[in-house]
Amino acid sequence: MIKEVVTSSTEIARAMGVTIKYFFTKPVTHQFPDEPVEVYPRFRGRHVLKRHENGLERCIGCALCAAACPTDCIYVEAAENTDDERYSPGERYAKVYTINMLRCIFCGYCAEACPTEAVVLEHDFALAEYDRWDAIYPKERLLEPHDASKVVVVRDDEVFVNVSRWGKK
Amino acid sequence: MDLEFIISLIVQIVMIGVIAVALMTAFAAMVMVERKLLGRFTLRYGPNRVGKYGSLQIIADMFKLFFKEEVIPGHVERTVYLMAPGLALVPALMAFAVVPIAGAPFTLPFQIMGTPITINPWIANVNVGVLYILAIGSLGTYGVILGGWSSNNKYSLLGGLRTSAQMLSYELPMGLAMLSAILIVGSMQLTNIVEFQASYLGGFFWLILVQPVAFIVFYICALAEAGRSPFDLPETENELIAGFSTEYGGMKFGLFFAAEYVHMIVVSFIMATVFLGGWSGPFAQQAPFLGIGYLLIKVAFILFTMIWVRASIPRVRFDKLMKFCWKFLLPVSIANAAATALVLAVLFF
């Protein structure tokens, strides 16, 4: 019995030692709205429709993103560019381009499918809305570059993996 | 009845009110401190949104409890159901009455109707203080068992039975641990116990030095009596559906909650008084206010260790809880009391 008392007492003392060690450690909690969250450069957040440097939209309304989307959350309606109303350099542009953020799973297939690199998943992840209809983003909102510098900071310590070496010793 | 008696009576009643309010405030502060400390133990910050460092969180919680709808389920035994939370809280508060918080009475700097007013640093200085504490401590069981029974719900009743079995079992080693201390002092009066500790070894003859085993047994029993982790079988928030308080909501639940914390605070005061020298410390005899400070420091340390234990040790299973009490703590405390008696008999008679 004495052996049992000694062993269990030392076990309790060890447990207390572990907890007191962590008591003096800095908490790992991320104070999210007060402190920005650090994300890696390839983090996939909200979509942004990119523009050319001269201000024209990159999107040509081909709807390949909508075809690639596994959840059907993208809706594209194309229209012809005219010389008076020119939105993109090619023949056609996206008249309607909506993404339902409630359905989107942020897989990034749309960005992979895009031939002109018009749709890109950037780093904004704070997408909560008070009204669920606001979660359907129209083209005007997607064209805005996201300003999430208050909540998102991009890390620069990304470890790049050499894909060609996968599966080899 | 002469004037002096009436005034002392009024002073006494005011003191009782002040102590009760102070204990309830301490309960509120304790909830806050416990959440913060537990957060730090588990690498979190704890509540820090309401007020500076989350200091107003408890006020927000209290508002929530007060303004919740008072639901009384249809199947309960109404009178007893409503009485039980009070029966749990009041004994917890009452046990504080015999604890001396300072060495000498305070005299107020003004007089009322020509009578100087002295305030005793205790509410009652009964000569069987230790017995009083044990007796009042047992009364706390009633709140729990009546709460469980009057809920008219199998699980609440089982929870109440479980809790009362635990509390009654752990009272025995607790009393025997107290007995070892009483044997050395030779008095059950808590003021005498503190003065005894203050009068030898330059004021540091704390009973923990001569009765470490009794102190450890008392500490474990105090955890079990107050329903603290690792003996928090009364609540068991996560697996046994909160035991006796399942059918309680709003402020009625709040009173059970308060009872647990007040119990914990009061038992810390008793522990500090009996084993850690109470108010005694350097210059505490000359300046009674210093004594309150010493006592509060000791109590704060005990409360910190209780939270520390909660953060470290997982809850014990019920059969092991009973086995630990009856097959280990009780024999150890009996052996300790017997050995103390024997040594004292050899030394002094």
Domains of chain A: 37-154 (3.30.70.3270)
Across the interface, whether the CB atoms of B308 and A20 are under 8 A apart is answered yes
CB contacts, 8 Å: A12 with chain B: 312-313
Which range of A35-44, A156-165, B105-114 scores highest in mean pLDDT? It is A35-44
Task: Show the domain range for B337.
Answer: 71-108+121-348
CB contacts, 8 Å: A19 with chain B: 41, 308, 311-312
Q: Indicate the residue of A12, A23, A29 with minimum beta-carbon distance to B41.
A: A23
ipTM over 0.85: no
Residue whose entry in the numeric block shows the structure tokens 């979509």: A47
Token duo for residue B235: 């609540």
Residue at B32 is within a domain: no
Structure confidence by residue, pLDDT tens digits, A109-141: 999 999 988 998 888 888 888 998 989 999 888
A41 contacts chain B (CB < 8 A): no
A2: how many CB neighbours lie within 10 A of its CB?
A: 6
- Residue B310 distance to chain A (closest CA, Å): 10
B41 contacts chain A (CB < 8 A): yes
User: Exposure of A84 by Cβ count < 10 A (0-12 exposed, 13-18 middle, 19+ buried)?
Assistant: exposed
Residue at B2 is within a domain: no
- The pLDDT of residue B265: 92
Q: Give the total number of structural domains in chain B.
A: 1
Structure confidence by residue, pLDDT tens digits, A12-28: 999 899 999 888 888 88
- Per DSSP, helices labelled H in chain B are 3-41, 57-66, 78-94, 129-150, 154-185, 190-199, 207-210, 212-225, 250-275, 288-312, 318-323, 330-348
Q: Indicate the residue of A1, A19, A28 with minimum beta-carbon distance to B312.
A: A19
B308 contacts chain A (CB < 8 A): yes
- The pLDDT of residue B342: 93
Q: What is the pTM of this model?
A: 0.82
CB contacts, 8 Å: B333 with chain A: none
Q: Indicate the residue of A12, A20, A23 with minimum beta-carbon distance to B313.
A: A12
Residue at B239 is within a domain: yes
The CA-atom distances, in angstroms, between B210 and each of A88, B48, B65, B194 are 90, 43, 45, 14
- Asked whether the beta carbons of A143 and A84 are under 8 A apart, the reply is no
Structure confidence by residue, pLDDT tens digits, B122-157: 888 888 888 998 888 888 888 888 888 888 888 888
- The pLDDT of residue B220: 92
Q: Indicate the residue of A16, A28, A29 with minimum beta-carbon distance to B308.
A: A16
Across the interface, whether the CB atoms of A22 and B42 are under 8 A apart is answered yes
DSSP A146: P
A12 contacts chain B (CB < 8 A): yes
Residue B41: pLDDT above 70?
yes
Across the interface, whether the CB atoms of B44 and A29 are under 8 A apart is answered yes
